[in-house]
Amino acid sequence: MTYDTQPLDLYDLSREALGELLASWGAPRTLTLELWHALYRQGATSFETLPLPEALRARFAAETRWHIPQVVDRLEAPDGATRKDLLELADGQRIEVVLLRYRQRRSACISTQVGCACGCVFCATGGMGFVRQLTPGEIVAQVLHFQRELAAQSESLSNLVLMGMGEPFLNYENTVAALRQLLDPQGLGFPPRRITVSTAGIAPGIKRFAEEGLGVNLAISLHAATDALREQLMPINRRYPLAMLFEATRAYTAKTGRRVMFEWALIAGVNDSPAQAEALVAQVAGLPAHINLILLNPTPTYPGRPATPEAVAAFTTVLDAAGIPHTMRQRRGSAIAAGCGQLRARERAFGLLRPL
């Protein structure tokens, strides 16, 4: 907890912390699990509905906060498969969350910060600058927001990506605390393999994350494989240049035995050359890696254009020749979830989304 001095939000409490709070109030510890189930399995949204004796309920209401983020704006793709909600937090700040329905999949893309300090030139969130960290509870609340809605339709979230606004590893503690709450088998019990955390390449964060033992997937936004180019696109590369980034990534794969995904938004004439593909092949040599290619989504603040089909073909030919696994994501669907901080810009660029 880093950002305010108000009483803790109920969603900020780990199950252990909730147990300690109840114990400090002289309440039976057995209540912890009932309360936890109400919060994470039944999707309770008000103190009145909590399974508690009246006096304890009143004490919770008096001594804790419980903010359920409210939808203040909603955009839906014409096919109805993708929806973005703008959620308002207790202090009036707003964050974007995306729900994606694709066949049996129900994926949520959630945010970890309001704004972002990294300033990647192609990113609409980067253009906002950093506003503030999200608390663990505010991260968790985004997932419960969709989970409640899906449960009402006898569905549930199947996948979760931390690819919305913000850089998860510059809000490290709160992000990891939120993940632990979401993974807790006594609560939502989200399967770790169905969660993906995406980082712009905060090398110390990657190393630290390897030690957490969470078992979730890691994606690294690479976008360029030479320092000269990556620096231009992602200023964070000056602090954590490619050598540091890959040293951390190798430590991560060695420790976890897990494959990493590299995100690469193809920008015409910028990072879509066979030379960049060769550099990428050299960087990932020997790493258990998968390259997620995506076409740049144009934003009003960046003049870059998506790569042409010819350039994409030449780029992937180099990867294929080297035997590097890769997929190209479609602009609709998962491509939207890959950068939900950019949806507002995408809406303008493509008329892809319409206000409800």
Site of interaction with ligand SAH (CB under 6 A): 116, 122-123, 163, 167, 198-200, 221, 263, 265, 294, 296-297, 299, 338-339, 342
- Annotated catalytic residue 340: yes
Contact flag: residue 263 with ligand SF4 (CB under 6 A) = no
User: Given CA atoms 274, 280, 282, 288 in this order, what sign does their dihedral have?
Assistant: negative
Which residues, other chains included, contact 168 with Cβ-Cβ below 8 Å and sequence gap of 6+? 112, 162, 175, 197, 198, 199, 205
Comparing CA positions, the residue from 5, 2, 235, 13 lying closest to residue 133 is 2
Sole window of 34-42, 74-82, 122-130, 343-351 interacting with ligand SF4 (rule: CB under 6 A): 122-130
Written as one string, the DSSP assignment of 206-275 is HHHHHHH----EEEEE---SSHHHHHHH-THHHHS-HHHHHHHHHHHHHHH---EEEEEEEBTTTT-SHH
Sole window of 31-39, 78-86, 92-100, 116-124 interacting with ligand SF4 (rule: CB under 6 A): 116-124
Exposure of 285 by Cβ count < 10 A (0-12 exposed, 13-18 middle, 19+ buried)?
Answer: exposed
Contact flag: residue 353 with ligand SF4 (CB under 6 A) = no
- Of 27, 50, 123, 233, the residue at the interface with ligand SF4 (CB under 6 A) is 123
- Of 118, 197, 214, 242, the residue at the interface with ligand SF4 (CB under 6 A) is 118
Comparing CA positions, the residue from 140, 175, 157, 142 lying closest to residue 100 is 157
Q: Which is nearer to ligand SAH, 45 or 308 (CB)?
A: 308
> Rule CB under 6 A: which of 180-239 touch ligand SF4?
200, 221
Sole window of 68-76, 113-121, 178-186, 270-278 interacting with ligand SF4 (rule: CB under 6 A): 113-121
- Annotated catalytic residue 212: no
Active-site residue numbers? Answer: 96, 340
Residues that bind ligand SF4 (CB under 6 A): 116, 118-120, 123, 125-126, 166-167, 200, 221, 341
